[in-house]
Amino acid sequence: MLVAVIVFPGTNCEIDTKYAFEKLGQNVALVFHKEEQLPQGTDLVVLPGGFSYGDYLRSAAIAKFSPIMKAVIEFANRGGKVLGICNGFQMLVEARLLPGAMKRNENVHFISKFHPLKVINNNNTFLKKCTLNSLVNIPIAHGEGSYYIDEAGLKELYANEQVLLTYCDELGQVKNPNGSVDSIAGICNKAKNVFGLMPHPERAVERILGSDDGVKMLEGFIN
Amino acid sequence: MKVIVNIQLKDGVLDPQGKAVHHALTSLKFNEVNNVRIGKQIILDIDAPDINTAQARVEIMCDELLANTVIENYTIEFPSC
Contact between A75 and A45 (Cβ < 8 Å): yes
Among A185-194, B39-48, B72-81, the least confident range: B72-81
What average pLDDT is seen over chain A? 97
Predicted pLDDT of residue A218: 97
Residues 26-55 of B with CB under 8 A from A: none
pLDDT band at B80 (very low <50, low <70, confident <90, very high): confident
Choose among A107, A92, A99, A80: nearest CA to A49.
A92
Is pLDDT of B61 > 90? yes
| B40-45/A111-119 β-pairing | unpaired
- Partner-chain contact B71 A103, CB within 8 Å: yes
Catalytic residue among A13, A14, A86, A94: A86
Is pLDDT of A99 > 80? yes
Mean pLDDT (whole number) for A166-180 = 97
Kindly indicate whether the ipTM for this predicted assembly is greater than 0.90, answering yes or no.
no
Q: Give CATH for domain B2-77.
A: 3.30.1280.10
| Strand residues in chain A grouped as ranges (E) | 2-7, 27-32, 44-47, 81-85, 101-103, 111-119, 135-142, 146-148, 163-167, 184-188, 194-197
Predicted pLDDT of residue A211: 96
**SS3 of residue A146 by DSSP:** strand
**Sign of dihedral through CA atoms B51, B53, B54, B56?**
positive
A14 is an active site residue: no
A168 is an active site residue: no
Is pLDDT of A181 > 90? yes
Mean pLDDT (whole number) for A33-56 = 97
> Chain A to chain B, count of Cβ pairs less than 8 Å apart?
33
Predicted pLDDT of residue A190: 98
Mean pLDDT (whole number) for A152-164 = 98
Residue B48, number of CB atoms within 10 A of its CB: 15
A49/A12 Cα distance (integer angstroms): 6
In this predicted model, what pLDDT tens digit does every residue of A1-10 receive, in sequence order?
999 999 999 9
Residue A41, number of CB atoms within 10 A of its CB: 10
Q: Give CATH for domain A2-221.
A: 3.40.50.880
| Chain A nearest-CA residue for B41 | A57
pLDDT band at A223 (very low <50, low <70, confident <90, very high): confident
A27/A4 Cα distance (integer angstroms): 9
